[in-house]
């Protein structure tokens, strides 16, 4: 298939949510001739079976099982479209989601260094800190669950950094690289994606999200001593900021306990991460930015 655009949906162990997402978006994709690729990191065969039975026109590829960054990159490399549209498996794309992107592609060349982000709307009340969902209604965040870019530009920019093991910071880091490379970002308010609230992970999994920040702090020029000193302070401040403007409901009192455990888990994991990453090669891009004096101030913390 030689499509103008490819819709990329990474997935991991969520066949039910993926089916709901595809039920919404496949009529749009089929009508417009958009190639749809599911990059499947699942440990079982349920997603492949579901796709074969219900969505036979969707292209299924087995992911590398090295985290969401590597999974998205695998889909991008396999795509035949000159434009890539990224969507997550638990999202609810609006009726004009694909049309908004495709119409904008018609005004640009795939040789331009330009990316597009849609409006990502958190669904439901955000009062409880025991639930979470990305929220980018007015743009400015380039969230990986709702953005588009030419395949050429994405790969030439280095794609997502596959060292990041979890869904944490990989899109933020890519956006920072894109900005420093001089890439443009255009907000498309009609490319709407609803993102249902989901239960916040247990404390141990929350803590493991911070591994990406160990990697990035080293990349931005930090020494092991600086990572060991500055990152715990940064993590604590981020955790405390979650309570800003919140009411002390039963849920949020329970969340306080979970976040305290997250911080303790993080402190326990940090020495191992320092040993793992202190001698590993840094990102060539960020090494160059350090030489140019363009790395994030205060190591991005």
pLDDT, tens only, 68-108: 999 999 999 999 999 999 999 999 999 999 999 999 999 99
| Percent over 70 (pLDDT), the chain | 99
Mean per-residue pLDDT, 219-239? 97
DSSP secondary structure, 36-101, as one string: EEEEE--SSSHHHHHHHHH-TTSEEEE--SS-HHHHHHHHHHH--SSEEEEE-TT-EE-TTHHHHH
Indicate whether 143 pLDDT > 90: yes
| Percent over 90 (pLDDT), the chain | 96
Give the domains, in start order, of the chain with CATH numbers: 5-199 (3.90.550.10), 203-300 (no CATH)
Indicate whether 3 pLDDT > 70: no
Report the pLDDT value the prediction gives residue 126, as an integer from 0 to 100: 80
Mean per-residue pLDDT, 27-45? 96
Output the pTM of the full model: 0.95
Q: CB of 173 within 8 A of CB of 163? A: no
pLDDT tens digits, one per residue of 262-291: 999 999 999 999 999 999 999 999 999 999
Report the pLDDT value the prediction gives residue 124, as an integer from 0 to 100: 85
* Mean residue pLDDT across the chain: 96
pLDDT tens digits, one per residue of 152-182: 999 999 999 999 999 889 999 999 999 999 9
Q: Determine how β-strand 59-62 pairs with β-strand 35-40.
A: parallel
Report the pLDDT value the prediction gives residue 223, as an integer from 0 to 100: 96
Mean per-residue pLDDT, 20-49? 97
User: How wide is the angle at C-alpha 175 spanned by C-alphas 267 and 10, nearest 5°?
Assistant: 80
Residue 2: pLDDT band with limits 50, 70, 90: very low
Residue 1: pLDDT band with limits 50, 70, 90: very low
The 10 Å Cβ neighbour count of residue 114 is 20
C-alpha closest to that of 87 among 166, 194, 201: 194
38-47, 63-72, 121-130, 253-262: which range is least confident on average?
121-130
């Amino acid at each position: 298939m030689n499509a103008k655009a490819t819709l990329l949906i990474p997935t991991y162990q969520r066949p039910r949510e993926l089916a709901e997402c595809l039920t919404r978006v496949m009529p749009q994709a089929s009508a417009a001739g958009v190639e749809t690729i599911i990059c499947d990191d699942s440990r079982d065969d349920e997603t492949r079976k579901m796709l074969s039975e219900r969505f036979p026109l969707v292209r299924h590829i087995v992911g590398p099982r090295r985290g969401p960054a590597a999974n998205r990159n695998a889909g991008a490399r396999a795509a035949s479209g000159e434009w890539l549209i990224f969507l997550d498996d638990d999202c609810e794309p609006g009726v004009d989601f694909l049309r908004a992107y495709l119409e904008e592609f018609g005004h640009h060349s795939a040789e331009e260094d330009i990316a597009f982000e849609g409006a990502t709307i958190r669904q439901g009340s955000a009062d409880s800190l025991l639930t979470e969902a990305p929220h980018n209604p007015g743009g400015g965040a380039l969230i990986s669950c709702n953005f588009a870019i030419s395949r050429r530009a994405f790969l030439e920019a280095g794609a997502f950094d596959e060292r990041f093991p979890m869904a944490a910071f990989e899109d933020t880091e890519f956006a920072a690289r894109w900005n420093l490379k001089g890439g443009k970002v255009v907000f498309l308010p009609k490319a709407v994606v609803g993102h249902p609230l989901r239960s916040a992970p247990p404390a141990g999994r929350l803590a493991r999200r911070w591994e990406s920040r160990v990697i990035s702090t080293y990349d931005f020029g930090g020494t092991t001593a600086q990572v060991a000193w500055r990152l715990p302070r940064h993590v604590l401040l981020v955790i405390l900021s979650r309570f800003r403007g919140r009411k002390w409901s039963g849920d949020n009192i329970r969340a306080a306990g979970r976040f305290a455990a997250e911080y303790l888990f993080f402190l326990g994991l940090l020495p191992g991460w320092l040993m793992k990453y202190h001698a590993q090669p840094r990102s060539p891009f960020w090494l160059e930015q350090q030489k140019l004096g363009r790395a994030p101030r205060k190591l991005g913390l």
